[in-house]
Amino acid sequence: MNEPVTLLLLRHLFPEWTIARVGEGGWWAAGRVLVSASDLDELLASLVVADPDATRRAVGLLRESG
């Protein structure tokens, strides 16, 4: 998946979070806490810990559309 599509998907799945790309390959998210990650996998792992309820909703949305 390309980066613009990934960013749109993340913003849809985590609407209460502000998610952005920073620099070369970095990610940033602000919600209940501020998250900075060096790659997408690290960002997703951080979101799971920071907001498990939003993660469950995101997984549910992905399952419905699958």
Q: At 11, which helix (H) or strand (E)?
A: helix 3-13
pLDDT in the model for residue 3 = 83
pLDDT surpasses 70 at 24: yes
Give the global pTM: 0.82
Band (pLDDT 50/70/90 cuts) for residue 64 is: confident
To the nearest whole percent, how much of the chain has pLDDT over 70?
95
State the average pLDDT over residues 57-64. Answer: 83
Whether the CB-CB separation of 18 and 30 falls below 8 Å is answered with yes
- C-alpha to C-alpha distances, 64 to 30, 47, 57, 58, 59, nearest whole angstrom: 26, 20, 11, 10, 9
Whether the CB-CB separation of 14 and 58 falls below 8 Å is answered with yes
Helix axes 40-50, 52-65, angle to 10 degrees: 120
